[in-house]
């Protein structure tokens, strides 16, 4: 039953209040239609910067017009969920230390949809998108007023920084648009570009994913190019470096509040070397147990073993050679080559 206070509020205000009540940190509304950044995205694809991510080229027509993924929808309720920019940096990117964000945000958007239908008293054609379909969510988020495109390509919010996920609930409901975020608040700052260990930024707001540590350790299914392995450093899965140095994050990032996104015990208080060694000796049962419901499953056990070998090549100690050699006995050809590289690097450091 709608209270007297609620009856005096617009449906847009009620939606935002409910979204905040569900735990979202940002929420805005925008109409669907032609996508302004689609041409730039298609140019980026044509230049080969997406690497092996062939799925990004699928559904091109739908990416050009956000009304097409779910016919007859008119608006998007766009949300942001903080994942803890004040958490300590480490070998696992902050976003991947807890439960899979796709599941967490989709469940919240489903709850928002159910509340909305109850509030207006009828079914609403809708669909949640969380990095899972032909939707350029970052474009929708800017149009909904949630932030601007930083030089490292991340959406930056002036009150939260960039350590947040973006989700969108497409709905068939006539809503009032929020004002889009206009302007660029990066100014002359290039800290994010300068800090990238692999020089992955071709220019401002253009990322060559094939050089990005996040791509190399997650989406890339082949070997990590040998010339880039030293630059991977201690990163086992993903990379936060270009966000860590951003002044907006240094000043405005927030503590993690969402329980489901908090770090699993295996990532707490342990060095990159210790985590890499554990990954190499982990059997199938332990892998399934430790990574059930984790976004890190995207790299699969083979990818994580490859990444662990590279990290040990960069920071491993002579006593780690035995673990590497034992792991090599059951490794596939690609992982074995990375283990051989790691053994060579550890031996070279020991000879210095």
Q: Which residues carry out catalysis?
A: 131
Please, which residues have CB within 8 angstroms of residue 94's CB and are 6 or more apart in sequence?
83, 84, 85, 87, 163, 240
The Cα–Cα gap between 2 and 114 comes to 15
HEC assignment per residue over 24-91: CCEEEEEECCECCCHHHHHHHHHCCCCCCCHHHHCCHHHHHECCCCCCCCCEEEEEEEECCCCCCCCC
Please, which residues have CB within 8 angstroms of residue 134's CB and are 6 or more apart in sequence?
58, 59, 60, 62, 63, 68, 69
Is residue 163 within 8 A of residue 245, CB to CB? The reply is no
The Cα–Cα gap between 138 and 147 comes to 9
Please, which residues have CB within 8 angstroms of residue 118's CB and are 6 or more apart in sequence?
none
Size of the chain, expressed as the number of residues it contains: 352
Give whole-number Cα distances, 277 to 88, 141, 146, 201, 274, in Å: 21, 40, 40, 31, 5
SS3 state of residue 164:
strand
The Cα–Cα gap between 236 and 294 comes to 15
Residue with tokens 């040998």: 226
């Amino acid at each position: 039953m709608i209270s007297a206070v609620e009856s005096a509020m617009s449906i847009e205000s009620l939606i935002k209040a409910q979204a905040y009540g569900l735990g979202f940190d940002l929420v805005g509304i925008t109409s669907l239609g032609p996508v302004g950044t689609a041409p730039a995205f298609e140019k980026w694809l044509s230049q080969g910067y997406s690497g092996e991510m062939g799925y990004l080229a699928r559904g091109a027509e739908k990416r050009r017009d956000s009304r097409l993924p779910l016919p007859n929808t008119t608006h998007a309720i766009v949300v942001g969920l903080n994942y803890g920019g004040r958490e300590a940096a480490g070998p696992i990117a902050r976003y991947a230390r807890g439960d899979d964000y796709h599941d967490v945000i989709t469940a919240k958007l489903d709850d928002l949809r159910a509340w909305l239908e109850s509030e207006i008293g009828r079914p609403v054609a809708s669909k949640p998108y969380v990095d899972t379909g032909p939707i350029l969510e970052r474009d929708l988020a800017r149009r909904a007023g949630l932030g601007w495109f930083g030089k490292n390509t991340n959406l930056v919010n002036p009150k939260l920084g960039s350590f947040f996920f973006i989700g969108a609930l497409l709905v068939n409901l006539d809503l009032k648009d929020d004002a889009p975020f206009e302007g660029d608040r990066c100014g002359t700052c290039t800290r994010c570009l300068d800090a990238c260990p692999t020089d992955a930024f071709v220019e401002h707001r253009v990322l060559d994913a094939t050089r990005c540590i996040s791509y190399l350790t997650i989406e890339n299914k082949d070997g990590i190019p040998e010339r880039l392995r030293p630059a991977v450093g201690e990163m086992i899965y993903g990379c936060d470096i270009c966000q860590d140095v951003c002044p907006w994050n240094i000043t405005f990032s927030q503590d993690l509040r969402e329980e489901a996104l908090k770090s699993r015990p295996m990532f707490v208080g342990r060095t990159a070397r210790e985590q890499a060694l554990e990954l190499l000796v982990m059997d199938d049962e332990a892998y399934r147990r430790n990574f059930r419901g984790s976004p890190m499953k995207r790299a699969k056990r083979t990818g994580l073993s490859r990444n662990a070998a590279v990290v040990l090549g960069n920071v491993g100690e002579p006593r780690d050679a035995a673990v590497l050699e034992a792991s090599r006995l059951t490794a596939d050809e690609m992982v074995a080559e990375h283990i051989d590289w790691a053994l060579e690097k550890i031996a070279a450091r020991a000879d210095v």
